[in-house]
A and B are shown apart, each in its own frame.
Chain A
């Protein structure tokens, strides 16, 4: 799936959907809050990723999950033939 470039397309689509529904803005706000709490000089990118990932994964709207799954399934079906 990666080699055909389909993954890239799906990633772009996912990014677009997440921005549309405000998920990205929410994550940004969470990051800002965390950085404010910890102090700007005491946070690394890894820290942030570690903290944000579980919250991010949990807060993705179901509609987006469904859409992506359907697309992946459709691609696999077409690629298998």
Chain B
């Protein structure tokens, strides 16, 4: 057995990314071969289109063999960077590549080699993989044959971030507050079980779909803060624009009613009427889809506000609805024939995820053989796939997995100039402040003229880290974990807002497709409350975990502040 050389590769944190220090042999290689020794390798790389894997270019009939033993079947063959001799490395039996490394002459050292199938650097003396920025840059350059984006699309330009500055009112502000506000009756909060802001909503005739979404929105922190701090004053709006349909004004009315401290259930009749006028095709006493209502409501808030302020739809800053919920999705379509990748960015206000029926079934055979126990932690462990339970992270994995577009969906490739089979992959370019995950439980098949509901249980975590689904992570894994600047940004990972989210509301659906009931579970001060139309009760966390999630609302753990154009507003 070869002696294990323990290298303490010190990790150097630059720009928030961790670069391992090169081993002495790699450093030596750099010293001998100039500043950019690996750029020449770009010409030797061939990107295999289907998976986009980088490998050393060779003729289709050429079979790489070890120079010493002639074996071509071993899993890893390495080509020496100095003389291109191919050797095999099969520990613990034989390592011909290590023998080759000893052939160090004064002109060049034969210690650094590259894996012929994977384009990864290997140090024969240390007998371990090594990483080099320059090499990875060459690999990435070989990958990106597509047309370089000359300027970043509008919606990607970042707004300047500023630090939090504490504020306390001065005398004038203090007197303003005292004169124009009335103290909230502190007595009502001592009736003590329910916190402020929890108020039942009366069902006005199959309106549980609306009540459930409204309850979630009332406790969406950025939205709640916006309305409670009088950012959309309904009196001012009406005096400026006349009495007209404004969903934001109706929402403002409801926020005032919900948070005033009155415990009697509230009837959102005026709002319902306004919404009917906005979404007239959904105006009926029939049960509607909660998700459809959610989208329609965000749309309604956006429509009216945009007319007021003429703000362009940039960075989702047009209205409060988009500022809270809007994110950017990145879609990459890669041609299977030539590898040309076409990228588009689309805004989105939520994530609609599929619940695959056969998820987890193919792993059942392996579950007995691995060491994972089936008492999986509820918070998003990958091992839960072995138990056959669907998880939210599993759905997100599926959402961001590369998908082969079938032969009937051939995509027009700009480089080949014909329709080719292609690979499509979604990822998240920009995370919204609040992520709404909508689980597609209602299947409407126009072909079979029937609709059905998928009742399958979905496990969802209380805390969610969205980092693996970001475009930066997806691209990094596509290129095989290379170091490279992403999208030409100078921004580093430290400046990026946190990708950690906390669950605060769950909208659940029970019953059948046409005869069901929506209920919302809200998380306030780490306690869970069930909002079933007019009835609000405190419940145990396990009740929520066991519920059939239809829409899950997560908010970013850390909110950041944007520099504003005007003083006094932001």
Contacts and interface: CB of A to CB of B under 8 A. Distances in A.
Given A3-B63, A45-B128, A21 B382 contact: no
Contact of A26 (B4, B63, B127, B370): B370
B369 A29 contact: no
Contacts of B220: none
A21 B363 contact: yes
A79 interface: no
B91 A46 contact: yes
B6 A12 contact: no
Given A45-B128, A59-B366, A61-B363, A12 B60 contact: no
B397 A25 contact: yes
Interface string A2-37: 110100000010011001111101100110000000
Contacts of A46: 91, 127-128
B7 interface: yes
Interface string A31-64: 0000000001110111000100001001111110
A55 B366 CA distance: 10
Interface string B368-407: 0110000000000011011000000000010001000000
Interface in B1-37: 4, 6-9, 11
B50 interface: yes
Nearest to A63: B362
Contacts of B397: 25
A42 B382 contact: no
B385 A55 contact: no
A12 B91 contact: no
Q: Is the interface of B mostly helix, strand, loop or mixed?
A: loop
B362 A22 contact: yes
B51 interface: yes
Contacts of B129: 44-45
A44 B8 CA distance: 11
B127 A44 contact: yes
A25 B382 contact: yes
B84 to A, nearest CB: 20
B91 A21 contact: no
Given A2-B72, A15-B51, A42-B6, A61 B366 contact: yes
A6 B129 CA distance: 29
Nearest to B73: A2
B149 interface: no
Interface string B44-60: 00001011000000001
Nearest to B401: A19
Contact of B362 (A3, A41, A61): A61
A41 B128 contact: no
Nearest to A42: B6
Contacts of B365: 61-62
Nearest to A60: B366
Nearest to B477: A28
A44 B194 CA distance: 56
Contacts of B401: 19
A66 to B, nearest CB: 12
Nearest to A21: B362
Nearest to A44: B128
B61 interface: yes
A38 B313 CA distance: 50
Contacts of A25: 382, 385, 397
A46 B382 CA distance: 25
A74 to B, nearest CB: 21
Contact of B8 (A12, A21, A41, A62): A41
A58 B9 contact: no
A46 B60 CA distance: 29
A41 B9 contact: yes
A6 to B, nearest CB: 11
Nearest to A12: B50
Interface string B83-102: 00000000100000000000
A41 B401 CA distance: 30
B362 A59 contact: no
Contacts of A45: 122, 128-129
Contacts of A30: 370
Q: Nearest 3 pairs between A and B by C-beta?
A: A59-B366, A44-B128, A21-B362
17 contacts: A3-B61, A3-B63, A19-B401, A21-B362, A22-B385, A23-B366, A26-B363, A26-B385, A26-B386, A40-B11, A41-B8, A42-B6, A44-B129, A45-B122, A50-B91, A55-B370, A61-B363
Interface of A: 2-3, 5, 12, 15-16, 19-23, 25-26, 29-30, 40-42, 44-46, 50, 55, 58-63
Given A25-B382, A61-B363, 19 more contacts: A5-B60, A12-B51, A15-B51, A21-B362, A26-B366, A26-B370, A26-B383, A41-B6, A41-B7, A42-B6, A44-B126, A44-B127, A44-B128, A45-B122, A45-B129, A46-B128, A59-B370, A61-B365, A62-B365
